[in-house]
Amino acid sequence: MEIIIAIVVIIIVALVVGFLMKGKQTTKPEEVKTRELVVEGVEEKEVEKDNVRQASEKLEVEQTKETKSTIEIEEKAKDQVKGNLEKKISHRPEKEDLENRNILKPGNVAPALQATQLQLEHERIVDSLEKKVSQRPEKEDLENRNILRQGNVAPALQAVQHQLEKGQLVDTLEKKLENRAEKEDLENRNIIRQGNVAPALQAVQHQLEKEKLFDTLEKKLENRAEKEDLENLNILKSGNVAPALQAVQIQLEKEQLFDTLEKKLENRADKEDLENRNILRQGNVAPALQAVQHQLEKEKLFDTLEKKLEHRAEKEDLENRNILRQGNVAPSLQAVQQQLEKEHLADTLEKKLENRADKEDLENRNILRQGNVAPALQAVQQQLEKEQLFNTLEKKLENRVEKEDLENRNILQNEEVDE
């Protein structure tokens, strides 16, 4: 800025000098005026220079203040961060705690390398598993080597199992065939189509009927009244329920309200019961003394409750005596839970009893043994019969004749003679 001002001053001085050189014919008063003008211009330029210098000094002062303020803010922020770090370091958990919480792995490995160590261990386990899986024998090989048996049933019972499955399948098929719907019922439910149309043309007939129905619906939809008009005429109820179901909805709501009122009226408590439950107060006490009576009753009840709570049994004792059920259900809801479980169990038992097979069928399928033994004792009977059979077989094997004796008695032929 100063250089520009100096250049301007030099140009003005040069112009004034040139003007003076050219204007020799001018009068002396004019020269005096021009000199005065030049002096005034120089003074103005000096004043402008002073103003520019003052403005630049002010800017420098403001910049220094801003730099000082930014330095102070940075120092305060550093101190704050330092304080926060010191607090966090003072409250950080110990190394053993981090190892117990599986955040830091135990060992002498640096924390920065623990992730790599874990990845390497995972890859090593995967490689070993892949090798073992690739080298394991096939299922057929294990079955041929008699290591893995075919199926979960013993070989002696596989024929019986197959026979039982066939019988069960026959029974289910017979029941389904007995309960299957008639042809007329299927036609009424639009599962089987009525008419003498060939099966190859039924699809075309169905498509034509759909198009015809679609055209009639479009015509009716074009001529139907607006929803607001129907609501104003009280034909359509306002709401999100379909118009075809609104009458049913109103009827159901009325019936539901009537049922709830009847139940509540049937189950409402008597006056004496309400008085005993302290909901309705007895009217033989003066109103001025009812508050005192209520306070005395509360204190008496509090004393009795304290005594009963001191002598009440423990939770484990009540659970062992089957008074309190085990679980997370509130005690006030356990009676309801028990009642629901009983009803559910009763329903399941009824269904199973309705669908259970007859005794003769179970005996024919060799599930239930014939005889007068109770079903609860049939397993014991079967075990005893097995043990008895095993004992008889052992006795016969102990008393059987030797091979040489049989050959001498000509009951068993000698293999060497036959050859």
CB 325 within 8 A of CB 334: yes
Whole-number pLDDT of residue 240: 74
Assigned domain for 305 exists: yes
Cβ atoms of 58 and 7 closer than 8 Å: no
pLDDT in tens, the chain (419 residues): 566 777 777 777 777 777 666 654 444 566 666 767 777 777 777 777 787 788 878 888 888 888 888 888 888 888 888 888 888 888 888 878 887 887 777 777 777 777 888 888 899 999 999 999 899 888 788 778 866 556 676 656 656 777 888 899 999 999 998 888 887 887 788 777 777 777 677 778 888 888 999 999 999 988 888 878 877 887 776 777 776 777 788 888 889 999 999 999 888 888 788 778 877 666 676 656 777 888 888 899 999 999 888 888 887 888 788 777 777 777 777 778 888 888 989 999 998 888 888 878 887 887 777 777 777 777 788 888 889 898 999 888 888 888 888 888 877 776 554 44
Rounded Cα distance, 104 and 102, in Å:
6
Among 60, 78, 100, where does a domain finish?
Answer: 100
**Looking at 68, 100, 132, which one is the last position of a domain?**
100
Calpha distance 316→324 (Å, rounded): 9
Q: What angle do CA 359, 365, 367 make, to 5 degrees?
A: 70
Rg of the chain (C-alpha set):
54
Domain extent, residue 61, equals 2-100
Find the helix packing angle between 28-91 and 2-22, rounded to 10°: 170
Could you identify the residue written with the tokens 């004393």?
Answer: 303
In a domain, 15, yes or no: yes
Could you say which DSSP state residue 146 is in?
A: T
- Non-local (6+) Cβ contacts of 30 within 8 A are 23
Does the residue 127 lie in any domain? no
Token digits of residue 72: 């102070």
Beta carbons of 383 and 373 less than 8 angstroms apart: no
45, 74, 100 - which closes a domain: 100
Look at residue 285 and tell me if it is in a domain: no
CA distance 275 to 284: 12
Alpha-carbon span 401 to 406, nearest angstrom: 7
Q: How far, in Å, CA of 396 to CA of 404, rounded?
A: 18
Which spans in 24-107 are helix H?
A: 28-91, 95-100
- Alpha-carbon distance values, 229 to 11, 193, 232, 236, 288 (Å): 94, 40, 5, 9, 63
3-state secondary structure 238-275: CCCCCHHHHHHHHHHHHHHHHHHHHHHHHHCCCHHHHH
Residue 319 located in a structural domain: yes
Structure-token pair, residue 150: 């075919």
39 in a domain, yes or no? yes
Closest CA to 153 of 165, 167, 168, 145: 165
Q: Which two tokens stand for residue 336?
A: 């309801």
Query: H helices then E strands: how many in the chain?
Result: 18, 0
90 domain residue, yes or no: yes
How many domains are contained in the chain?
Answer: 2
- Cα angle at 259 between 253 and 265, to 5 degrees? 135
Q: What is the DSSP letter of 410?
A: T
Q: Which two tokens stand for residue 289?
A: 């003394």
Residue 388 resides in a domain: no
